[in-house]
Amino acid sequence: MDPLASTKERRQLLVSGTVQGVGFRPLVYRVANKHQITGSVCNQLGIVSIEVEGTVEQINRFIRDLEVQTKEPAKIESIEQSLLPLANDNCFRIKESKAEGISGYSFPPDLAVCSECISDLTHPSQRYYNYPFTSCSNCGPRYSIIQGIPYDRPVTTMKDFSLCEPCRKEYEDPSNRRFHAQTIACPTCGPIVELRNNKNVLVSGDWKRNVEKALLTGKILAVKGIGGFHLICDAASRKVVEKLRNRKRRARKPFALIVRDLQTVEENFELTQAEQELLASRRAPIVLLRPKPFLKEWLPLESLAPGYQRLGVMLPYTPMHALLFTDSLSFLVATSGNQSGLPIARTNEEALQQLDGIADYFLLHNREIGVRVEDSVCQVVDEQISFIRRSRGYVPESIPFPLPPFGVKEIPTVLAVGAEMKNTACILHGDRAILSQHLGEIEHEEQLTCWREGVQHIQELLRVEPEIIAYDPHPGYIVTQQALDQFQDYPLFPIYHHHAHMAACMAEHGLISPVIGCILDGTGYGRDGNLWGFEILTGDYLKFERACHLEPLALPGGEAAIRYPWMMAMSLLYQLEQDMFFTKHWALQLFPDVKEQLPFLLAQLDGRIPCPRVSSAGRLFDAVAALLGICVESTYDGEAAVLLGERAEMSSTGCLGKGNYSFAYSAGQWRVGQLIKDILGDLMLSVPIEEIAKKFHHTVVEMVIFGVLEAYKKTEIRSVVLSGGVWNNRYLLSCAKKRLKEVGFTVYTHQKIPAGDGGIALGQAVSALWRWHHHVFVRSSEDH
């Protein structure tokens, strides 16, 4: 045995990562006592500081054990060690937090209620029986209630609830799982619930029984959660689901379900191992799942998610949610509590005002929501997670990214303001990126206020001010105008939309060398001032080139064509023959209800009235969906394209089954005239819509392959990134990955952030940092 192993010493361990608010200090305490080590642990700004005293062997075993026992969502990213003088203390203690050190990334996401707390909730002998704010050191709200760091009760919205004696006893008991749980509360000392009707009158009696009665009689409830309000109703009642649609003016956009428990999900949905683990994880996102065939007999699936093969499903992630279920209620609709175009309601007052006319009852409580945080939404494609919306449960976890290679001693803080749709903002601080929660569409002042709140919240937690600003140069984005107005004296870096998409996927995977970027989305402002959206790019964080793209197509009606896909179908019909009579003939056959609007549309197509042009995969998908009669009017963003993807999945032939349509390529552009001609031919032959949709998807995959090979000929780059909202299409993503690998490319897809505009801020931020570095260090050194 090494004689030095028995030498006694004292070390300081500075632990970085997600180590505050996740039960890490109690874990340190238990592991230290297991190894008979003395010392202390406390929170500091951005880190947990541990002092340990014992033999070298004891301390080394303690560190190894601590690393092994640290489980999600806690995460150790680094441990910095240094020697200290011996203190000869006689125990191990959890000390008061210190507001010293440097800001960091240890503030945690909101955590789903754990099984132990659910057990307490359901046992009459427990003092937490039926208490909707039960939590412990392993679960409960975190990010949505944090108001400062280090993470302790006085800097959360729990600060107004003083602990009663039984709670304090549990809080101070190292053997109790509520040991140092900052959200601990009980019916005696914690938040309280009240049920009010739509006249704001308190409903007397037991709130749980009243809620059960309301749900079973077809009422709609506004329920205050941890990051905002949900609108909740009985998912088994077609009548009440349609009533919610009418009141919320949400014609066809799918509703998410919250299901009683994992067993109920397993009995009613087809689950892969990855889907099951994701659904039951402490992050508790909404996961898109395929229902078993018999479920349509119990739930009105077409009312819940019209045209979809999957439903968004989540498990109860708060005690409040769990208490909504009874023997008669196993499936509830849970959708964002907001009016169309407004942010999710956060306060009781906002809910009572904004949801008046939608909700019949309001289930309220007096714990403040510090910041709005909507539910995360994801799916599993080829056993890998694919985010549609990254928010609760994941934010504000940091994402590592590649730093510029040399010359940077102090890294400036970067704020990227994101895009207009599905907005998230991003802050780079040190070598980590913090992506905000989903902030939604930024088109009105109320939404811009929500954006300011989200950005300010992260800045306050990090205790930083931005030094560099990255933004999308689209002249119509109000979030861009906000950045230009608010930060006009800062270094400003415009990052083009599709370059940001490519850089986001690169940054997520830590790539430094140039890549080929396959960027497929709706529309984004291009370097030439036109609208792009179906691009093969080559480049890195500093620059990009457009290797090839879809031929520009007329966008008749401008942005109206996004809502009315039949207009984009008209554009494709005209593109095919450049003939007014041909276009009108097909338009009258396919879209007879729009006869009166045809003259104005045709005038735009033949140039008599000015019309923007667009090279967009999203608009191409829209047009084909309209041609096939799948969707001629979209009621929510991306509806036509999404439904086209769903129909492709319904086809009986497997992925990459035989058959795709023709396309031409010239002067760096894909030409789709023959593609449209072939689709019309199949329509005339009464080929099933599902088969046409699948062949169209195969054609898009082959267009991508062709474009990547063209880019490879010029650059010999073999790394390919797939980014842009169109890659949320499960079938397209799976097929493209397989084909690209078949022809010898290494493929990178988004797994930590959304492929759509919800991830674009990361690419903006990292690209801006690299450009700043190049300007400050590389150019200056070249000048000398």
Token pair for 104: 């960091």
**Unique residue bearing structure tokens 């493929």:** 747
Q: What pLDDT, on a 0 to 100 scale, did the predictor assign at position 451?
A: 95
Q: Which residue has the higher pLDDT, 251 or 98?
A: 251
CA dist., res. 451 & res. 417, Å (int) = 9
Average pLDDT over residues 307-313: 97
- Which of 11, 25, 252, 432 is catalytic? The answer is 25
Cβ neighbours of residue 664 under 8 Å, at least 6 residues apart? 670, 671, 673, 674
pLDDT at 2 > cutoff 80: no
Residue whose pair of structure tokens reads 């930024």 in the numeric block = 442
Tell me the mean pLDDT in the region 436-444: 94
* DSSP labels, 172-199: T-TTSTTTT-TT---TTTS--EEEEETT
Residue type for position 137:
S
Name the pLDDT band for 43 (thresholds 50, 70, 90).
confident
Cα three-residue angle 182-260-643, rounded to 5 degrees: 110
Name the band, by pLDDT with cuts 50, 70 and 90, for residue 235: very high
656 has a pLDDT exceeding 90? no
pLDDT tens digits, one per residue of 719-751: 999 999 999 999 999 999 999 999 999 999 999
What is the pLDDT at residue 341? 83
Burial code of 413-452, b = ≥16 C-beta within 10 A, e = fewer?
bbbbbbbbbbbbbbbbbbebbbbbbbbbbbbeeebbebbe
| Residue 91, both tokens | 């125990």
Residue 633: HSE in the Cβ half-sphere, 13 Å Cα cutoff: 6
| Selected residue with higher pLDDT from 305 and 606 | 305
Q: Is 104 helix (H, G, I), strand (E, B) or coil?
A: coil
- The pTM assigned to this predicted structure is 0.93
Mean pLDDT of the chain: 93
How many CB atoms are located within 10 Å of the residue 663 CB?
20
Model pLDDT, residue 440: 93
Model confidence at 782: pLDDT above 60: no
> Is the confidence at residue 780, as pLDDT, over 60?
no
Question: Would you place residue 96 in the very low, low, confident or very high pLDDT band (cuts 50, 70, 90)?
Answer: confident
Domains with residue ranges and CATH for the chain: 3-94 (3.30.70.100), 107-190 (3.90.870.30), 193-377 (3.90.870.40), 549-718 (3.30.420.40)
Amino acid at 427: I
Asked whether the predicted pLDDT for residue 152 surpasses 50, the reply is yes
Bridge partners (DSSP) listed for residue 80? 14
Order of strands, sheet of 492-494, starting from the edge strand that comes earlier in the sequence: 398-400, 432-435, 426-429, 414-416, 468-471, 492-494
Distance CA 58, CA 128 (A): 39
Q: Is 290 exposed, middle or buried (0-12, 13-18, 19+ CB in 10 A)?
A: middle
Q: Given the residues 10, 30, 33, 43, select the one marked as catalytic.
A: 43
Query: Tokens standing for 775?
Result: 């300007």
Let me know if 642 is exposed, middle or buried by CB neighbors in 10 A (0-12, 13-18, 19+). buried
Q: Is residue 596 helix, strand or coil? A: helix
DSSP code at position 649: H
- For residue 521, count other CB atoms closer than 10 A to its CB: 28
R_g over Cα of the chain: 28
Pick 267 or 47 by higher pLDDT. 267
The candidate with the shortest Cα–Cα distance to 451, out of 477, 417, 481, 474, is 417
Q: Is 367 a catalytic residue?
A: no
Distance CA 35, CA 623 (A): 66
- 654 Cα distance to chain centroid: 29
Q: Is 728 a catalytic residue?
A: no
Please give the pLDDT value at position 784. Answer: 45
pLDDT in tens, 186-224: 999 999 999 999 999 999 999 999 999 999 999 999 999
Q: CB 721: neighbour CB atoms within 10 A?
A: 25
| More confident call, 102 vs 381 | 381
Q: Which of 108, 103, 111 is CA-nearest to residue 25?
A: 108
In the prediction, which pLDDT does 304 show? 98
State the Cα–Cα distance between residues 593 and 226, nearest whole angstrom: 46
C-alpha to C-alpha distance for 488 and 490, rounded to whole angstroms: 6
**What SS3 state is found at 325?**
coil
What's the sign of the alpha-carbon dihedral 684, 685, 686, 688? negative
470-504 pLDDT, tens digit per residue, is 999 999 999 999 999 999 999 999 999 999 999 99
- Element spanning 84, H or E: strand 75-84
- CB < 8 Å & 24+ apart, contacts of 264-267: 264/330, 264/331, 265/289, 265/313, 265/315
Tell me the C-alpha distance between 8 and 653, whole Å: 69
Return the percentage of the chain with pLDDT > 70, whole number: 96
Per DSSP bridges, beta strands 377-381 and 384-389 are: antiparallel
The pLDDT confidence band at residue 23, using thresholds 50, 70 and 90, is confident
